Amino acid sequence: MDIQVDFSGRGVDYTEEEIAVAVEAMRVANPLTQGRYQSAFEEKFRSFNGAGHAFAVSNGTCALEIAAQLCRLKDGDEVVVPSHTFTSSAYPFLKRGGKPVWADIDPRTRVVTAETLKRALTSRTKVIVAVHLYGYVADMPAIMALARERRILVVEDACQAIGADIDGVRAGNFADFGVFSFHSHKNLTTLGEGGMLTVKDDTLADLVPLLRHNGHCPFAFEREDYWIPAMGNVDLPELEGERLWPANFCLGEVECALGARQLDRVDSINAQKRGRALAFIDALREYPELVFHRVETSRHNYHLLAARMEGSVARRDDFIRRMMKEHGIKCVVQYYPLNRYPFYQKLGFGRADCPAADDFFDHMISFPFQHNMTEDEYRRMLAATLRTLDEQRRRRLL
């Protein structure tokens, strides 16, 4: 059957106002990068998120690259990362000498906890990367208490969790660094690519503009003639005598203009998705073979809607196959444990003691859940799910 409900690569549709803001920026922004729209977006993000410092960057991976560099890893320093996450939660740290130690997830919430992280800590642990996968904020107060006790840096990968909070503290605002993605699939997207880095420490924050933009900075003196000695200074970012390498990770002005405007809508996008997720989960209450993570509060923004199918892997595969073949609903399986990828295996990091992550991956189903899904598509997906589960019961598939 043709696809009726796709696992879309695009998460949201823009409103006419948002389009007008982007068009206006296209007309008037000068320069088209590193201008007033960037400053306005960062300022608005700081007040939205509660962060002291926020820097717009080209995407979430660039935010992780900068955070990884500011962690100043030495060869052999260990970085504890969940195995169940997107690849760029991990590899920017490996590029700088870090050795990943894979942390397991909690089977109920599908994210790391202080307990699962604790099991992965050693005397060499320098950094923890806490990932709010699916849009659910990991238990940051407990994770920060654990990290502070042992003087470990924490990076919050909030790429999927914009706007989600614990008791009013937004994701990305607990740890030393917070990273966000505005990729095409996210609840806020700046034309397909974009990201934000939040930084707690003032000294580290001062370095971010240089790291983000080729080491560019003002001259330390007043120039009598604006062209002498040159347009702008380039310096080597340094921290306590250690050299850091810059790159060009800037986000364009049109994207910043759009992002700032979309921030006004994030809470309502999240609330709409949460409402739909809860209604979907509740409608399947009589089917305990599908186990969802049900969260009524804004701690979950339901960027994604994932479930575990009890029973055999064959039953999960049968479900996904039937949903597609008989109903045209494209469910997927996500977050291949990183240690199973050739990338990490070739580097010698192919072993993980993460039974819950492995088990969840082998039984998980990720439903299409983009914000721009129509009411009709949503109803079809629910009806198809009910019919497929009934069919599996009828065939006594376990």
Beta carbon nearer to ligand PLP, 89 or 173: 89
Q: How deeply is 360 buried, as exposed, middle or buried, from its count of CB atoms within 10 A (0-12, 13-18, 19+)?
A: buried
The answer to whether residue 159 forms part of the interface with ligand PLP (CB under 6 A) is yes
Distances in Å between the Cα of 368 and the Cα atoms of 74, 104, 111, 304, 376 are 41, 25, 20, 8, 13
Beta carbon nearer to ligand PLP, 62 or 384: 62
Distances in Å between the Cα of 317 and the Cα atoms of 180, 239, 332 are 32, 51, 10
- Among the residue ranges 80-88, 214-222, 279-287, 288-296, the one whose residues contact ligand PLP (CB under 6 A): 80-88
The answer to whether residue 84 forms part of the interface with ligand PLP (CB under 6 A) is no
> Could you give the angle at the alpha carbon of 110 between the alpha carbons of 343 and 69, nearest 5°?
45
Gap between the Cα atoms of 243 and 77, Å rounded: 18
Least separation, in Å, of the C-beta of 285 and ligand PLP? 29
Q: How many CA atoms lie less than 13 Å away from 6 in the CB half-sphere?
A: 8
The answer to whether residue 102 forms part of the interface with ligand PLP (CB under 6 A) is no
DSSP structure class, residue 4: S
The answer to whether residue 388 forms part of the interface with ligand PLP (CB under 6 A) is no
The answer to whether residue 128 forms part of the interface with ligand PLP (CB under 6 A) is no
Beta carbon nearer to ligand PLP, 114 or 162: 162
Among 45, 55, 86, 367, binds ligand PLP (CB under 6 A): 86
The answer to whether residue 261 forms part of the interface with ligand PLP (CB under 6 A) is no
Closest by CA position to 321, among listed 395, 398, 392: 392
Angle subtended by helix axes 60-70 and 202-212, to nearest 10: 130
How many residues line the site for ligand PLP (CB under 6 A)?
15
Among 42, 157, 253, 289, binds ligand PLP (CB under 6 A): 157
Least separation, in Å, of the C-beta of 193 and ligand PLP? 6
Q: Which amino acid is at 43?
A: E
Interface pattern 164-193 for ligand PLP (x via CB under 6 A): -----------------x-x----------
DSSP structure class, residue 339: G
Upstream peptide bond of 31 is cis (omega within 30 degrees of 0): yes
Beta carbon nearer to ligand PLP, 133 or 324: 133
Query: What are the phi and psi torsion angles at 291 (to 5°)?
Result: -110, 115
Beta carbon nearer to ligand PLP, 18 or 157: 157
Distances in Å between the Cα of 320 and the Cα atoms of 84, 97, 290, 328, 332 are 20, 40, 12, 10, 7
- Among the residue ranges 41-49, 85-93, 164-172, 380-388, the one whose residues contact ligand PLP (CB under 6 A): 85-93
Beta carbon nearer to ligand PLP, 157 or 318: 157
The answer to whether residue 370 forms part of the interface with ligand PLP (CB under 6 A) is no
The answer to whether residue 339 forms part of the interface with ligand PLP (CB under 6 A) is no
The answer to whether residue 98 forms part of the interface with ligand PLP (CB under 6 A) is no
Gap between the Cα atoms of 345 and 350, Å rounded: 4
- Among the residue ranges 26-34, 137-145, 152-160, 277-285, the one whose residues contact ligand PLP (CB under 6 A): 152-160
Binding-site ranges for ligand PLP (CB under 6 A)? 59-61, 85-86, 88-89, 131, 133, 157, 159-160, 181, 183, 195
